[in-house]
């Protein structure tokens, strides 16, 4: 399927968390403000920003050896790592598929294929307990043959023939990848076909002989966020240098891209100017190249599908004499809207407890995934044939405190859909059905990787500093005694409008729950659990609210007698790494240990490191004195001090992370150990894996086992 305008724009800003600056061995110097100049002169660890330099890597190797010796050298660690790897490599996992043409494709990793297989089967075969698969690309074999450490980044296939695909492969797992044309029928790369070198590329089919290409065209062609600033139309058989300019943005934009909606009978071309993480402009491109802006607010997502245009405003939008709330979903006939009519149907309007998590089209229907206090429910909407109202009907039910999701299989062909139901203690079940043809039937059931019968799930609400009600989930042993003695791991994220919902994890079950631990997930502000308003409540100058929420959940766990400071740990990655980094510096009295993964930490330098400029809309611009005044309050690297009662902390990152980058974790660990004299600070840096910090299941198993071993050892007051 071709991406919608909304999802295409989001993909540009959310390659997990956004852009990747093409740093060399050194990051560029910051803007010359008095604030930055004074602080930079005091930064003794700028040398660690030389990502591949000999001296920094020697420091990394020494720290890795120290940490591995302390936490990864025991039989208990090896047992945990092996059991996690069994989960990740299990042949019994559900092989989720996507329909391409008449076949169903799956990307699969196991112990024999650590980098993965791209494979396919038929629907009839897929329904079987043990489907017969045909391998299309063996990533391990390809890497071995070409001498590359390839990591799969997906494929785009040209409809309606679905013969030619654009395959993206990353050397080492970073966000930058190469793009190569592939023949799906012959299962081989096309000799002399479209090919693009390693870069942060956005590419899309126009037709069999033309592509939209946004990539690194040379000096000046990338934004400060290191996404492409220019998009061109490239014709087969011509040099990329001769590609025709389509649109050129500014260096302050986040990214520029273009794509064609190839839905039969509704082919349209779009150009997307992503201004920052939450604002964008989408243009309809005519056959003559003329661009016509879709007239919606900058912070609204738009999605063109067949004759319909869907709009999701992030803030209240007044148009046509009516005001539509933030977080709503609106529909209009595409051609009517472009002609100036503003007859909008409200498909979803949020309440105090509900938000729209997602939606998906089938040929004749629209499926809505709605969250109500972070628990999901589904609704099917049917557009009117002419004038009239959209019809509504519920779709399936889900167990309490679980997640239910549904997506159309092929919106061009029919109303088939896949549906999944999952919970913290309930392995995922996959259903297949057709709207209007009875209930969906189960086709796959994920295995149980741990004994969940001894546990139960509850949802609680903590009260934050400003009185806000903050939900959180607790997975704990049944009949838990409220004596504060239970090792408890609190996980959070709280940013970029990302929601944390009930999900089954065999790794957490085996590594934490089976040992009697308590696992908790905090749905703090900054996330999307209650729609845009929940996210916007913790933006920029209000960022501390997210940390106050997390601290309130931690305190509530203690107040309820579930745990105590000595037994309470925190874990988070990326923006969640910034979250737990601030728990370390702002709320050290609440935690007994912290694991901080692929984190942002130096918020004065973050816009100069890797992809940091992408996230100014989330955090603010530290080069502006009025914004640095509030940013510095949540900059752990700047706020860490001597002689504080900080809990033990493990920083985990990856050399190949070209999104957040490894240097912030490096600098924080070095400053705490070398400058401030803390001994219980630990650091580990994987070489591959990009922002995920792992390129294959074996590396993932090591990462998780290291984190859980560290936390368990400290929260049970055992020596490493």
Which residues form the catalytic set?
574, 691
Are 306 and 383 in contact by the 8 Å Cβ rule? The answer is no
Give the other-Cβ count within 10 Å of 402's Cβ: 21
Strands 488-491 and 518-522: parallel
Tokens of 548: 């106050």
Calculate helix-pair angle for 75-89, 697-715, nearest 10 degrees. Answer: 140
Q: Where are the beta strands (DSSP E) in 322-415?
A: 322-324, 329-333, 345-348, 354-361, 366-372, 375-382, 391-394, 402-408
Nearest to 316 by CA among 341, 297, 334, 335: 297
Are 300 and 3 in contact by the 8 Å Cβ rule? The answer is no
Nearest to 151 by CA among 118, 184, 183, 121: 118
Tokens of 94: 């559900």
Strands 164-171 and 150-157: antiparallel
Strands 202-207 and 195-199: unpaired
Calculate helix-pair angle for 54-71, 697-715, nearest 10 degrees. Answer: 60
- 317-328 in b/e form (b: 16+ CB < 10 A) is beeeeeebbbbb
Q: For 466-523, what is the HEC assignment?
A: CCCEEEEEEEEECCCCCCCCCCEEEECCCCCCCCCCCCCCHHHHHHHHCCCCEEEEEC
Which residues, including other chains, have CB under 8 Å from residue 505's CB and lie 6 or more apart? 424
Tokens 């409200």 map to which residue?
346
Tokens 């300019």 map to which residue?
245
Give the other-Cβ count within 10 Å of 588's Cβ: 16
Rg (CA), the chain: 25
Distances from the Cα of 582 to the Cα of 64, 585, 593, 636, 681, angstroms: 24, 5, 13, 6, 15
Tokens 């004596």 map to which residue?
483
Which residues, including other chains, have CB under 8 Å from residue 10's CB and lie 6 or more apart? 301
Strands 568-573 and 593-597: parallel
Are 517 and 508 in contact by the 8 Å Cβ rule? The answer is no
Q: How far is CA 241 from the centre of its chain?
A: 33
> How many Å apart are CA 99 and CA 119, to the nearest integer?
12
> How many Å apart are CA 383 and CA 390, to the nearest integer?
5
């Amino acid at each position: 399927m071709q991406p919608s305008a909304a999802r295409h724009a989001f993909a540009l800003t959310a390659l997990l968390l956004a852009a990747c600056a093409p740093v060399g061995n050194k990051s560029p110097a910051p803007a010359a403000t008095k604030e930055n100049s004074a602080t930079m002169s005091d930064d003794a660890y700028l040398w660690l920003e030389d990502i591949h330099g000999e001296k920094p890597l020697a420091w990394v190797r020494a720290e890795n050896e120290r940490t591995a010796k302390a936490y990864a050298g025991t039989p208990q660690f090896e047992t945990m790592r092996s059991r996690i790897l069994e989960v990740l490599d299990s042949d019994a996992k559900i092989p989720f598929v996507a329909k391409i043409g008449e076949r169903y494709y799956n990307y699969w990793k196991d112990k024999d294929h650590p980098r993965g297989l791209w494979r396919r089967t038929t629907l009839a075969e897929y329904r079987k307990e043990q489907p017969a698969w045909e391998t299309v690309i063996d990533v391990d074999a390809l890497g071995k043959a070409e001498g590359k450490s390839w990591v799969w980044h997906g494929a785009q296939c040209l409809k309606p023939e679905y013969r030619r695909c654009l395959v993206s492969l990353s050397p080492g797992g970073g966000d930058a990848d190469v793009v190569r044309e592939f023949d799906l029928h012959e299962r081989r790369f096309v000799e002399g076909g479209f090919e693009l070198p390693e870069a942060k590329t956005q590419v899309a089919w126009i037709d069999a002989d033309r592509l939209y290409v946004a990539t690194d065209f040379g000096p000046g062609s990338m934004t400060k966020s290191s996404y492409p600033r220019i998009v061109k139309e490239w014709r087969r058989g011509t040099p990329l240098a001769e590609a025709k300019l389509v649109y050129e943005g500014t260096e302050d934009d986040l990214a520029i891209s273009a794509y064609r909606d190839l839905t039969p009978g509704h082919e349209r071309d779009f150009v997307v100017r992503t201004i920052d993480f939450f604002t964008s402009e989408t243009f309809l491109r005519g056959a003559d190249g003329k661009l016509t802006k879709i007239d919606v607010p900058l912070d609204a997502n738009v999605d063109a599908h067949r004759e319909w245009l869907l709009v999701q405003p992030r803030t209240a939008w007044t148009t046509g004499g009516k005001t539509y709330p933030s977080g709503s979903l609106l529909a209009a006939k595409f051609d009517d809207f472009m002609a100036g009519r503003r007859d909008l149907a409200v498909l979803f309007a949020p309440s105090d407890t509900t938000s729209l998590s997602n939606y998906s089209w089938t040929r004749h229907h629209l499926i809505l995934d709605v969250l109500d206090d972070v628990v999901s429910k589904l609704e099917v909407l049917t557009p009117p044939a002419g004038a009239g109202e959209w019809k509504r009907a519920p779709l399936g039910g889900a167990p309490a405190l679980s997640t239910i999701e549904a997506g159309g299989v092929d919106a061009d062909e029919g109303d088939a859909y896949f549906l999944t139901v999952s919970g913290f203690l309930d392995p995922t079940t996959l259903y297949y059905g057709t709207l209007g043809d009875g209930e969906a039937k189960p086709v796959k059931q994920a295995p149980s990787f741990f004994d969940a019968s001894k546990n139960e799930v509850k949802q609680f609400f903590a009260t934050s500093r400003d009185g806000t009600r903050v939900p959180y989930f607790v997975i704990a042993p049944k009949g838990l005694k409220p004596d504060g003695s239970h090792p408890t791991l609190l996980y959070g994220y709280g940013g970029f409008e990302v929601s944390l919902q009930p999900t089954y994890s065999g790794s957490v079950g085996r590594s934490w729950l089976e040992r009697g631990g308590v696992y908790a997930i905090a749905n703090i502000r900054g996330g999307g659990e209650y729609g845009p308003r929940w996210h916007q409540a913790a933006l920029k100058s209000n960022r501390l609210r997210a940390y106050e929420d997390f601290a309130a959940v931690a305190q509530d766990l203690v107040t309820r007698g579930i745990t105590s400071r000595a037994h309470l740990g925190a874990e988070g990655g990326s923006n969640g790494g910034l979250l737990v980094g601030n728990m370390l510096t702002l709320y050290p009295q609440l935690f007994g240990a912290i694991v901080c993964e692929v984190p942002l930490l130096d918020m004065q330098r973050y816009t100069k490191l890797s992809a940091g400029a992408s996230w100014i809309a989330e955090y603010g611009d530290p080069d502006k004195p009025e914004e640095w005044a509030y940013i510095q309050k949540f900059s752990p690297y700047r706020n860490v001090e001597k002689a504080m009662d900080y809990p033990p902390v493990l920083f985990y990152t990856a050399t190949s992370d070209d999104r957040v980058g490894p240097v912030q974790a490096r600098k924080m660990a070095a400053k705490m150990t070398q400058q401030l004299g803390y001994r219980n600070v630990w650091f580990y840096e994987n070489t591959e894996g990009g922002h995920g910090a792992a390129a294959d299941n074996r590396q993932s198993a090591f990462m998780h086992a290291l984190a859980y071993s560290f936390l368990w050892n400290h929260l049970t007051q055992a020596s490493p």
